[in-house]
Amino acid sequence: MAQFKGEALDRLNRLRALTKNVVPEAVESYSYGLIGFKYKGKPLVYYGAFAHHIGFYATPNGHEAFADEFAKYKQGKGSVQLPLDQALPFDLVEKVVKYRVENIEESR
């Protein structure tokens, strides 16, 4: 976390808090430059800070399920770029986190 500064750090902390609030039992880790959460041993979501955006990684099925909502954002394979100069879509991120929890529960 020490590598992140300013607005990027603030946004990462807000997204971490949102995830912990929605899924208190999620296990947080840090790897490959990303903050990650696992739920019941399975990947839940990941966040990363970059010069101009926050990277949001909800594995492919999280992005596929919300493709229409994410359409206005630049995307990469399995990622969505949330620009630092725009408001964070907290409601959308929360819906995706909940969807991922349900998806993991159903796969058990």
What is the set of domains in the chain, with CATH numbers? 6-106 (3.90.1150.200)
pLDDT class of 3 with cuts at 50, 70, 90: low
Q: Are 48 and 80 in contact (CB under 8 A)?
A: no
Distance CA 42, CA 25 (A): 12
pLDDT class of 77 with cuts at 50, 70, 90: confident
Distance CA 81, CA 24 (A): 25
Q: Are 37 and 44 in contact (CB under 8 A)?
A: yes
Say what the pLDDT of residue 21 is: 97
Q: pTM to 2 decimals? A: 0.92
Say what the pLDDT of residue 32 is: 80
Sheet strand arrangement including 27-31: 27-31, 34-39, 42-49, 53-57, 79-83, 75-76
User: Helix or strand or coil: residue 26?
Assistant: coil
The dihedrals phi and psi of 36, each to the nearest 5 degrees, come to -120, 155
Distance CA 95, CA 100 (A): 9
